[in-house]
Amino acid sequence: MSKYDLIVIGGGPAGYVGAIRAAQLGKRVVCVEKERAGGTCLNWGCIPTKSLLRNAELYSLMQNHADEFGFSFDNLSYDWSKVISRSRKVSDRLAGGIEFLFKKNKVDYVLGTGQILEPGKVQVTDSSGQKNVLESEHILVATGCKTRAFPDLQFNGRSVVGSSEAMIMEKQPEDIVIIGAGAIGIEFAYFFNAFGTKVTIVEMMPNILPVEDREVSAELEKSFKKSGIEILSSTKVIGTRDLGDRIEIDVEKEGLAPSTIGAEVALIAIGVEPVLPADFDLELNRGYIVTDDKYQTNVPGIYAVGDIIGPPWLAHVASFEATQCVNGLFNGTQPKKVETFPGCTYCQPQVASVGLTEQGAEEKSLSFKIGKFPYQASGKAQAAGETEGFIKLLIGEPHGEILGAHIIGSEATELIAELGLAIESELTYEEIENTIHAHPTLSEMVHEAVGASTGHAVHI
């Protein structure tokens, strides 16, 4: 039995960040990971999908807009296997980087499945079945989530896949049905469509990206339809059939008679479900671990952070929670709970948001005004050939604080950071307006959107 100051179960963005932070505070730490450092995000989620999306973006740009930039090709083509292998190489490099960081910070890294036997004891079972018990007064659970299966349409890694299988398909499908239009479904829809696969999205809610501002969702839907993606919103799946080499799905769109759609592959993107590392009773809410204001579970000495404690299921939120929890444990600070956080979808055009949506502000009966600025009016966007989209800001009244920010367009996921800082720092629109933004940049649009809320925007 090995004794530690902290045992971390899970090596994803919550687990490895929490382990390294505890080691930085001088603690003896072990991180137990079932597969590979980096977890789902680095190995099967955030990072490899962005590699695939970059390939899709470049191919789409050259295929559809080369002439605008003065380029021409005799035979523009792509190698599907290289597209996929590049994504895997990126993940492998970064996973190796985290293993290096473990060594650098003297974090013990153990491959195996961690199971909490009782408070203070974690059993690790390696791939050969050998078991080892680790001991600590403090256990941090960061086991995350896995893809939620669709009832009556089980994953088979071939014709019915989740996001992990979708990013390593040996053969590009001719057509694909994506069930679920959250960030994962939307990113894969863009990726496959860019390379010529016929894509159909089925979403039971009225809008794609249902958590985003409705105006942004509508703009993205318009863009996707223009690129040839079929979108069935307000549509329920009422029946499924796996025919081996093809999937048939019966759908019912609100107000219409049921119909059947088919595809070579069905990608299930309806959400995630928790991965629990204990057989004894931890207090749960809809399957997710309940924690207090210090991220402690109902069992003293056992803490939980990241996806395992419920939404939002975001890597940057998981890392924040892990750092807050560990600082509270070993540095004597009061941990902060997540309040404001950015959400990003990396299709083209990109979507990013922070704070309240317009509908959310209305539901809270808040008084606000809107500042909006189109990419079309940005000199930098025109120069880059990226004129699709807009920035939309919700500004509270009478004090002028930023209630929410919503961006659809080029580099939206980079631009959102300034607005997250503005909300966290309780900046007013005047303080943003009085900050000089470099010209020509896309970030100037933030300045212009603030000005638009009072009729001061110069370029619209």
pLDDT tens profile 92-107: 999 999 999 999 999 9
Average pLDDT over residues 340-364: 98
Q: Which among 65, 399, 406, 439 is annotated as catalytic?
A: 439
d(CA 176, CA 180): 13
Q: Give the pLDDT confidence of 63-81 residue by residue, as tens digits.
A: 999 999 999 988 899 999 9
**H/E segment holding residue 9:** strand 6-9
pLDDT score at 245: 87
Average pLDDT over residues 288-317: 97
pLDDT score at 42: 87
Q: Give the pLDDT confidence of 401-440 residue by residue, as tens digits.
A: 999 999 999 999 999 999 999 999 999 999 999 999 999 9
d(CA 304, CA 309): 7
Tokens of 85: 């292998």
Residue with tokens 């290289």: 82
**H/E segment holding residue 422:** helix 412-424
Q: Which domains does the chain carry? A: 2-147+273-330 (3.50.50.60), 160-270 (3.50.50.60), 349-452 (3.30.390.30)
**H/E segment holding residue 217:** helix 214-226
d(CA 31, CA 9): 6
Average pLDDT over residues 325-353: 97
Please confirm, yes or no, whether 316 is among the known catalytic residues.
Answer: no
Mean pLDDT of all residues in the chain? 96
pLDDT score at 1: 60
Average pLDDT over residues 275-295: 90
Tokens of 30: 């072990």
pLDDT at 51 over 70: yes
pLDDT at 241 over 90: yes
pLDDT score at 331: 93
Is 43 within 8 Å of 22 (Cβ atoms)?
A: no
Q: How confident is the model at residue 366 (pLDDT cuts 50, 70, 90)?
A: very high
Average pLDDT over residues 288-303: 97
Q: Burial of 290 by CB count in 10 Å (0-12 exposed, 13-18 middle, 19+ buried)?
A: middle
Q: What is the DSSP string of 241-286?
A: EE-SS-EEEEEEETTS--EEEEESEEEE-S-EEE---BSS---EET
d(CA 135, CA 139): 9
pLDDT score at 255: 85
Dihedral angle over CA of 219, 315, 112, 97, nearest 10: 110
Average pLDDT over residues 227-254: 95
Share of the chain above pLDDT 70, in %: 99
Tokens of 436: 């000089």
pLDDT score at 281: 79
**H/E segment holding residue 132:** strand 131-136
Tokens of 403: 């209630």
Average pLDDT over residues 390-400: 97
pLDDT score at 202: 98
pLDDT at 395 over 70: yes
pLDDT at 33 over 90: yes
Q: Give the pLDDT confidence of 188-217 residue by residue, as tens digits.
A: 999 999 999 999 999 999 999 999 999 999
pLDDT at 53 over 90: yes
